[in-house]
Structure 1
């Protein structure tokens, strides 16, 4: 049963939905030029969507204005390390070697890790898995079922695919502030078929505290301070500059920010640029329209069920990406 509106009832997909009618967290858009269709992915839950277990939902559109859905493309199975009742975060889908690969963060709150989490939060299994399908609407099947891609002893999240200059695949991900207090962005080389991590050790890219404007405030009551790292995704500008979107908090509010590799390589070093969007907004990603124009999609506010996707027109300056048109003005053009 859907507890807040009919727009997200997985038993009854609808047409003609606007983005402000679709509850969404950590939105990701895949542009399918072959069919001239945009696919929007977000997490799905029993409480909000009438699902029996957590998973991933998709909506589709040919104009970014009207959407059809939701469609269930992945559900956490019973015979894996994750608990199907404990969450599915930050889905994203990439076309790699002719198949579609879903990256999504799963959880098992019953599998405790040693030690005490920052701010008294529990330490437990949390990490990104990869699932594969032949269709953008799934069903996606996990490639590795016994543990997350990154070591289960590390609380990690928001894994994203990156292909380096030699064509080798990596997963860029965040190491959870709950375990580290100062969250990090790291990367690990994947096997060529994306079935698992390689034998190489992870590399450290930067800490959440690297953002000079971030004061470390997390909780609204001020009781806990931490440096959050969320939603890391990488892109190339027209001048081949390597850019990373990521999110954190500033003065207790979620922020969409951006970093740039000074060497143009994954290893960095990384310099922190001015945030793109404030106002409790973040975990965004960039995509190009059918016409080749850049857009940013993110969610705001942070908390569900109020959270909605917002679109921004972006400009590729060659050195970075900047916001061209605010979400409210851009949506008015529809």
Structure 2
């Protein structure tokens, strides 16, 4: 068994499987995610603290369209199968993009489903997530990277019913600078002096029907997690941004899930520097569309 403090992982994503009463923890699991990609693993546990694994769920063969930057896998159940949304650096043009893999089982193996990344080929994009609206239309929500556009964007694109391709052009939901809490930074390798990051969008439907989005950026060069909400209840917005991040202790790329005991949890990775990143599980409550952090970095989640 492994404890959370022993698991190096970025971009943690939990799939609570009601069928076997176990949590499946996915994430960026390569020891050096900035270099050659190996694949993705899963950890399996019952209490969010003790884990079996890692078990390999995806390994790329020589014909795969990427061999570098295997990032941020999310696994969603859709029409009886499991779909992994994950980011890869393309071989053909060295641009990052999110593709979709598929498996009959949570433990894989996951195989390529979309024909390469679904995000625009000439864009630097990452961190795609699935959202299915009230009409049953699937969308991918993703980030158009700051490394290309300086002011990072969060975008949405309609997907085909079989999740194999985009069926429309992406639309910009908002830019990072539109929220009050992220701060700008300069980078020695970029000509732009004012840059803002968008990372890890995740869609959450509140009990009162509010459509909310978690996403990450930086506050004075410290990784942080904030929330935005759609004023119309539609993915197309417009989006209103909470003024204060819910987590600003060098952690982000979060998602919300419900435990088998009915508690709401926020998971994210912290700190943000390799190789020290670890999964954090933080108990929260949600009331009238507002999220409150109750405990920080819980060790015994189900008490």
**Could you say which TM-score interval applies, normalised by the shorter chain?**
over 0.9
- Corresponding residue for 2:275? 305
Conserved? CA contact 1:54–1:87, under 8 Å: no
Q: Does 1:80 align with 2:74?
A: no
CA distances 1:251-277 after superposition (whole Å, capped 9, x unpaired)? 111111111111111011111112010
- Corresponding residue for 1:272? 241
In the alignment, structure 2 segments of 5+ residues that lack a partner are none
- Corresponding residue for 1:259? 228
Conserved? CA contact 2:49–2:300, under 8 Å: no
- Corresponding residue for 2:23? 38
Matches within 5 A, 1:89-108: 89-108=71-90
- Corresponding residue for 2:184? 216
Instruction: Determine which of 209, 232, 256 is the counterpart of 1:240.
Output: 209
Counterparts of 2:133 and 2:44, CA distance in 1: 30
Deviation of 1:331 (Å): 1.5
Deviation of 1:292 (Å): 2.0
Counterparts of 1:62 and 1:283, CA distance in 2: 22
Q: Does 1:294 align with 2:264?
A: yes
CA distances 1:45-103 after superposition (whole Å, capped 9, x unpaired)? 3758xxx9521110000111210010110123321322x2x121111000000000001
Instruction: Determine which of 55, 58, 74 is the counterpart of 1:71.
Output: 55
Matches within 5 A, 1:1-334: 16-45=1-30, 53-82=37-66, 84=67, 86-108=68-90, 111-112=92-93, 124-145=94-115, 147-198=116-167, 200-217=168-185, 225-273=194-242, 274-327=244-297, 330-331=298-299
Q: Which has the higher helix share?
A: 1
Counterparts of 1:76 and 1:319, CA distance in 2: 40
Deviation of 1:143 (Å): 1.1
What is the Cα-based RMSD across aligned positions, in Å?
2.0
Deviation of 1:217 (Å): 2.2
Deviation of 1:169 (Å): 0.4
- Corresponding residue for 1:115? none
Deviation of 1:332 (Å): 5.4
Q: How many residue pairs get matched? A: 298
Task: State TM-score, norm by structure 1.
Answer: 0.85
4+ residue runs over 3 A deviation? 218-225
Task: State TM-score, norm by structure 2.
Answer: 0.93
In the alignment, structure 1 segments of 5+ residues that lack a partner are 1-15, 113-123
Deviation of 1:138 (Å): 0.3
